[in-house]
Structure 1
């Protein structure tokens, strides 16, 4: 059975499309991939809607339909690359684009757009979407969503492993070798989001290529300690977060507390340490016998960040999921393809111990072609 997974993260750097094959009881196999661009105007509107603003409902409605079209284009493109036909694809699993994630609101919600009816209509392929809502209805935080896939794909019966996903927000999945021990996972805090926003503010680059700018700076211990004092880092899981919390206003608020703010490159270096140290602390606390950490997501290309993570995890082998047969850029998109499979098979896609849901749940709504 073949499925397509579609994912756009908090960095809004494009739509990842992954086509996988799934056999009963087996590990998914990556067949084809495609990175679909999001033009600057649409990216700007997405980022604007991540904050409060005027006329939000009108703007959201139009953007939802426009993004549905872009997600459909991404699905069609990866299908062409695979050489398969539309009839060979059982379903598309679309995560959509997160605009707000409010797990601690009076009525918790997580809002993803990219209209699945548009995707199903334009591709002619059944589409599964809105994965987070059912978990939240069951009392969970709707995040992180990928640990069940990590367990299916990467679990080892011999060695304790951690899968580290560094997208805009970073999260970990702890995979004990002993199957009797529970899988755990949670958002650790900022991944690339502050790094991307800071370099864009000072150099208009979308990201810090290979972490070169961060490597040119020196960590401000004073700033780093202030940032790490945020209560989120010490809070026990289940927990999840987003740009609603870790954003430029949050960073600027801490910078204002310093008598002498660091140079811009030193702030970037400090933000690398913030991501690395918050991840390392989480791993040591929740799976202290970890032997291996495998990184996926865009952060895997940031050499300064990968070096910092390895330095903060002495005795643990740190590499990317390439070593396990899955390129790090495509793990999340593949996860939502697999989650579509779970939904159509009537199988749960969440892990209650991870999200805090009251029970395992079949996730997502099905939009028949």
Structure 2
């Protein structure tokens, strides 16, 4: 997820143009059609049991809920994207985090993207967020007033990383940021939290006492103005593909130090190469995704909105939890690197890499 000013306007232009061409093909999705067009056109979820199909970056889900645009302890941003949807477990977890964060002293959450109503690849932005189990939370505290619809489209989140650098900006970073991340990591459902490497480094240097929760906090490109929560495959979703296990320990080791070398920040040699979402057809996704596209929708969004006075609709019965693991996303780092070494002068530009979370 990116946060440039005017993102919502550009997304709207892309969506309108794309849907004008492809909307006549709905609801019967062929194997050759681009999945991002078909899923990006859906306004409401599939009114079936809550299930996730496939992997975080190649799948879909049904029976989703939307978090209300406004709650007592949160505000949803970029409303034009219609990405406030997720598996009921994820939506309820975000609402719970907002309440607990306020109790911890955070003013309230500004919510970024969760998923599209039926998941699937998006017209723009994320590689993941496809199965209703990912959510982005801004690192900018919620203001003490309700933002207008225009502000929610154009106000930019504030990066906590020094401009052009790799470490946190001490003028912006606070102990409250660390408490917020710790609270998010405290939930058993949360398998992983993606942050900028500089944030992980700061936590490694400053967290005292219990450091076990740091294992869930993983460094990744982008994520300097928001953090990404990922929960595991939920009961009843036998078609959901879990991730491989994270390494043991708190992650404050050579795997973190790799991010402070030149290698991960080298400019992309082929920036014009198409993204996976630009090539992904319905034939690329689990077969259940086609049925999910053609499934009937609820009567209205009001029947599937949770929080802020909305109605929470449970879609899946309880069942034994599955064991979820995390995939390794980088190659072996230099053994001699130190996670606590000063940030090197890389001698190359530090581009803002594509988010591929």
TM-score (norm 2): 0.28
More strand by share: 1
More helix by share: 1
TM-score (norm 1): 0.27
